[in-house]
Amino acid sequence: MSGWWSISQSLSLPLSDSLGLPEVIIDNGDPDTSHTKSWEVSGGVDPYGADSLWSRDIGGTYTYQAPLTGSHQVSLRWTFYSSRCTNVRVGIYDGDSLLATVYVNQKENGSQWKVLGTYSFSGTAK
């Protein structure tokens, strides 16, 4: 993995089920978010909310939990910065069960939502 990577801003879980429920956006620093290793405020332009975070530590993680059931579209947003990584691994979990692993090029499509897919959750999205 070359460069630094960021979870910058937020994970979005727009609810796309037939109930028509509103979307859920989880931003860095919100309750039920946590991280390993060192994360710093990014200088990237146009963050979602007040700021975004980045880490240069290999193996650093940023996680969230949301109580969700049913089928939901999962999206991710980051800011552009020339040193971002081109192959950031994102694991999508239902509780402790890995549903999918998606790789994101954070040198592309900065400051916009990137749809990672639609997944079925049975209680806790991570």
**pLDDT for residue 22:** 61
Query: Which pLDDT score, from 0 to 100, does residue 20 have?
Result: 62
Q: Report whether 92 contacts 116 (CB < 8 A).
A: yes
**Encoded amino acid at 120, one letter:** S
Q: Do the beta carbons of residue 64 and residue 126 sit within 8 Å?
A: yes
The amino acid occupying position 99 is L
| 22-34 pLDDT per residue, tens | 677 877 777 888 8
pLDDT over 50 (residue 9):
no
Mean pLDDT of the chain: 76
For every residue of 92-114, DSSP letters joined together read: EEETTEEEEEEEE-TTSSTTS-E
Q: Between the CA of residue 81 and those of 26, 43, 65, 87, what are the distances in Å?
A: 22, 8, 27, 14
Residue with tokens 């639609």: 118
Per-residue confidence at 54, pLDDT binned at 50, 70, 90?
A: low
More confident residue, 81 or 121: 121
pLDDT at 61 over 60: yes
Among all chains, which residue has been given the structure tokens 């402790």? 96
What is the structure's pLDDT at 36? Answer: 82
Q: Is the pLDDT of residue 2 over 50?
A: no
Q: How far apart are CA 122 and CA 97, in angstroms?
A: 10
**pTM more than 0.85:** no
Q: Are 12 and 75 in contact (CB under 8 A)?
A: yes
pLDDT one-digit tens code per residue, 85-120: 888 888 999 999 999 999 999 888 888 888 888 888
